[in-house]
Structure 1
C-alpha cells in the first residue's frame, strides 16, 4: 500500500510513458480525473469529442507516439465514434478514456451510465476495458499503452468510474518498454526476394504503413535496385514514395475491374504496407489480370487474412523493404520508360489564365495554392470530389507532408490539422499546414476551428465552395440514381462561421486574392479560413 492515490500513480505512469498532453472535451464523470491537473501536463480542449480524437490522431502521427484523449462517458464516446473509426483505419496509437458513474450506482444504471463500456466503441478499438477494481486502473493504462503501439497500432479504450481516482493505490505503477515493430520471417522473405529477382516485369505497390514507419528512403532504394514501376495503393492516406520520382506511375483505382486493368502486363506485383485491396465502388472484373502473381507484406494479420488473393508475409513494411533490398538481384531498366497514369481530370488547362469575370476552377485554385505556399508545406485533404485535381496540381515529394483519412468518414481532417500543427510546434519544425476541405466536409467538425484559434496555430484552411456534395453526384451518375434529394448545400456562409470561432477569414473571388491570403496566412498568429467559390463540376469517380 502507498499513500498516493490512483490519480497520482496514473499521472506518474503517463509521465514515464512520455504522455503529458491530454486532448478532450470534459464532462461531469471526468472531472475527478482532471482534479488538480498537474502543472507539467497540458490539456488541449475541444468543443466536441470527434474533434478531440481527430486532433489527437494528427498529433500522434507527427510525434510518432501515442496520444491520450479524455471524453465524457457513453455520450462522449458516441460523439467520438466517427473519428475513432478513422483512427482505427489510420492505425494511429491512441488511448481513449472516458469516465463512468460511481461504482456504487452502476448496478442501477443511472443517467449517462456507460452500460456496456467494453462493447460501445467496438469494433473500432483494439481493446476496451473497465477495470474490475480501482486498484487496477494504473496497470490498465500500461496494458492499454502496450496494445495501442504494438502492430497493427490503433486506438484502445478505458472506462473508469469517477470514484476510482481518489482511492489509495497499491503501489507505483510498473512502466514497461515494448517493441512496436515486427521483422519478417527469413525463409519467407527470401522466397519473396527470389520471386522478385526472377520476375520479367515486377510492380511495387506501396501503402501508408511505409510512411508510418518513416520508410521513404528505403522504399526508393528498393524501387531503384529493382528498376520497377511504383504504384500507390488504392485510396492511400499517406504517400510512401515521392510522386515526382521517375519510377512513380500513379495511384491504383479503388475498384476491382479498373485496378486489375492497371496491372496488366506485370508478371509479379508486391503490395507492401497496404490492404489487398481497398475498394469502394463495385465495378465487376477479376481481382488480378491473368498471369500476375501477387505478394503481400503487412503487419496486420486481419489484412492478410481477408485478402482475396496473394501470398502474404507478416512484417513491418520497412523491415521487409530493407531485407528485400539486401536480397534481390539488381535489375536494369527495360528500354521502355514508365508511363505516368493521368487522372481523368485534365490538369494542363489549369495553367491557362482566367478571365477577369470568370469563376475560379478547382484546378487553377490548386495550382495557385501550390505555387503560393512554401515548399515544405504539409497538405491535409478532405475534399473527395476534388482529390484528383489536387493530386494533379500538388504531387507529394516530401516525407510526412500529406495526410488524409483512411476511413472515408468525414470530419477528421479539420481537427487533425490542429494536432499536426501543434506537433510541428512542439518539435520546433513549424512547417506550414494547409488544409483543403470541401464546403460540405467543413461542417462535420467545424468546432475544431476554436481550438486552432485558442492555441494560435497558423493553419490555412482553404474551402473550395461548390455548393453541393459533388462526390455524391458522381456516385449518382455511376449508380444510375437520378433525382436523389439532399445533394445541394446552398446558403452556407463559411466566412461568418469561421469568424465566429475566432479565425481570420475571407472570401477570394480571384486567384490574385488567393495569393494575397497565402502570403499573409502563415505569418499570422492564428488560423486563417479562405473560402473560394469554384466552378461546380461532377468529377469522374474513377
Structure 2
C-alpha cells in the first residue's frame, strides 16, 4: 500500500515532465497545492489570472515546451478566459489548473466553487476535466500534458478540489511520451505536388505554424519555407493576421501579409491559378467586406495540423499535416521553376493586414508612429525580440521594422487585448533561462496597455530586461477606423484622456520616462539597454486613424 500522497506523486510526475516553472495568482482553493512549495520548483507570481496565462503563453512559445498555469477557482478562471482564448488560437500548449472547493461541500455549490468546472473554459480548451477521485489527479496531469502537446497544440484545463492533495495515492504515476507532430498522407501530398507542378502561376501563403514547427529558434521552419519558395520561384504571402512571421520579410519573393477581408483578399490573388496555404486558417476575416473567397479559376490547397481549421475552410482541398513536415515532403516532389527570375513587388506595410495611413502633420513637435518606429529600429540591437499590441499602428511598425530572423516577432492570434504585455514577461524569462539574453521590446498602445498593466509588477520583481514603449494617442484609434468603415458616427467611449503611463510604470516598480522627441526616445532606449530590469517609455504621438482595407 502506497504511503505517498497525491501531492507527492503529482509533483514527482511534474518533475519528470519538466513542469517545474508554474505561473499563477494564488487563491484560497489553490493553497493546498502550493503549500511547502518544493525548492526545485519555481513559482512566477502575477497579480491577475489573465496575466498568468499570458506570461505562461510567451514562455511556452519561446521554450517550445508545455507550461503549467495555476489560477483561482471559478472567479480566477473567468478572469483568465481572454488569454486562454488567445492561447488556443496561438496553439500554445498550456496546462491550466484551478482549485475547487472541498469535495464534501461540492453538492451544495458552496461559495467560491466552480459550479460546472468542465464547462466554464469551453470552447477555448482542448480538454476540460475534474477528476472523479483524488487518486486520479496524477493521471489527469499526464493526460492533460499529452492533450496539450498533440496537434493542434493548445491549452487544457483541470479542476482540482482542494482536499485531493493530502489523500493517499495509488502508487507512482507513469510518465509517457507523446508525439507533437503528424506527417502528411503520402498519396495526398503527391497529389498536391503534382497540382503545384502543373500550375501555370501558383502562389504560396505561409502561416504561423511554420514558426512553431521544428526545434528551438524557428530556423528549421523558415529554411524549409525558403527552400520551397525558391524552388518554385513564386510569390510568398503571409496569411492574414499572422501572429508570427512565417517568412523573412526582406526575401526577394516576399510580398507581404494578405488583407483581413474577403473581397480585398480575393483581389490580391487575381491572376493566379493555384494558391497553397500552409500552416494557417483559410482565412481569418474581419471586418466583413463582401466578395468572392477566391478568384474564379483559382484552385486552393490547404495544409494544416488542425482538423477544425480544415473543416471550416469555406473553399479549398485540405491535407492534415504538420506544416514543416508537409513542406519538407513537398519540396523534393515539385518541379523546379527557374526558367526566369521572378520580380515581386513587396507591399510597404509588409506583414500588416492593412496599409499605413498618410503621414500626419506634426502637432506641437510630436512624433508620428512611423518616425518613432524608425528610431526604435535604429537604436535597438538586431537580435531584439519584438512584441506588438498597437492595432492602429501595426502597418507603420512593419514598414519600419522588417522581420528578418525567426522567433523575433510575437503578437496575439485572437485580437483580444491584454496578451502581449504579460507575454513579454514570459518571453524575457525564457531569454534569461536559455542564456540567449536578447532584449525584449514591447510596442503597445495606451489603450492596450490598460488591459494587463499589472504584468509590469512581475517584470519588475524578476528584473527582466523588457522595454515597454507605450504610444500615447489618447484614443482607441483602431475603433475609430471601424467607425469609419461601418459608418457609425458619434460612438461614445473612443477617447482616452487623462492617462499617466509613466506614473503607472513607476507605481509597479519599473524605471519610467516620458520621451517626446526622437533624441529623447533614443536616449531612453540606450539607458534601458544598460539597465537591469524593465523600463516603461511613454511616447506621445500624433493621433492618426488608419484605413482597414
Distance 2:430 2:362 in 1: 41
Question: Superposed, which structure 2 residues align to 1:116-265 within 5 Å?
Answer: 116-213=116-213, 214=218, 215-265=221-271
Q: Is 2:458 aligned against 1:451?
A: yes
Distance 2:528 2:234 in 1: 41
Residues 48-76 of structure 1: CA deviation (Å, up to 9, x unaligned)? 00000000000000000100000111011
The 3-state SS of whatever aligns with 1:453 is helix
Which residue in the other structure is 2:520 paired with? 513
Which residue in the other structure is 1:28 paired with? 28
Residue-pair matches, total: 539
Which residue in the other structure is 2:298 paired with? 292
Per the TM alignment, residue 406 of structure 1 is displaced from its structure 2 partner at its CA by: 0.2
Residues 79-129 of structure 1: CA deviation (Å, up to 9, x unaligned)? 000000000000000000000000000001110110000000000000000
Q: Is 2:350 aligned against 1:379?
A: no
The 1:244–1:464 alpha-carbon spacing in structure 2 relative to 1, beyond 3 Å, is same
The 3-state SS of whatever aligns with 1:295 is strand
The 3-state SS of whatever aligns with 1:8 is helix
Per the TM alignment, residue 166 of structure 1 is displaced from its structure 2 partner at its CA by: 0.4
Q: CA RMSD in A?
A: 1.3
After TM superposition, the score normalised by the length of structure 1 is: 0.98
Per the TM alignment, residue 165 of structure 1 is displaced from its structure 2 partner at its CA by: 0.1
The 3-state SS of whatever aligns with 1:29 is helix
The 1:356–1:486 alpha-carbon spacing in structure 2 relative to 1, beyond 3 Å, is closer
Per the TM alignment, residue 357 of structure 1 is displaced from its structure 2 partner at its CA by: 5.2
Q: Is 2:402 aligned against 1:395?
A: yes
The 1:157–1:471 alpha-carbon spacing in structure 2 relative to 1, beyond 3 Å, is same
Per the TM alignment, residue 333 of structure 1 is displaced from its structure 2 partner at its CA by: 5.5
The 3-state SS of whatever aligns with 1:107 is helix
The 1:442–1:417 alpha-carbon spacing in structure 2 relative to 1, beyond 3 Å, is same
Residues 168-220 of structure 1: CA deviation (Å, up to 9, x unaligned)? 10100000001110000000000101111111111000000000013111111
Distance 2:7 2:362 in 1: 64
User: Is contact 1:347–1:363 with CA below 8 Å preserved after alignment?
Assistant: no
Any gaps of 5 or more consecutive residues in structure 1? none
User: Is contact 2:356–2:395 with CA below 8 Å preserved after alignment?
Assistant: no
Per the TM alignment, residue 382 of structure 1 is displaced from its structure 2 partner at its CA by: 0.3
User: Is contact 2:418–2:448 with CA below 8 Å preserved after alignment?
Assistant: yes
The 3-state SS of whatever aligns with 1:430 is coil
Q: Is 2:82 aligned against 1:82?
A: yes
Distance 1:474 1:346 in 2: 12
After TM superposition, the score normalised by the length of structure 2 is: 0.97
Per the TM alignment, residue 334 of structure 1 is displaced from its structure 2 partner at its CA by: 3.9
Any gaps of 5 or more consecutive residues in structure 2? none
Per the TM alignment, residue 355 of structure 1 is displaced from its structure 2 partner at its CA by: 8.0
Question: Superposed, which structure 2 residues align to 1:451-470 within 5 Å?
Answer: 451-470=458-477
Q: Is 2:315 aligned against 1:309?
A: yes
The 3-state SS of whatever aligns with 1:522 is helix
Which residue in the other structure is 2:503 paired with? 496
Residues 7-57 of structure 1: CA deviation (Å, up to 9, x unaligned)? 010001001001100000000000000011000000000000000000000
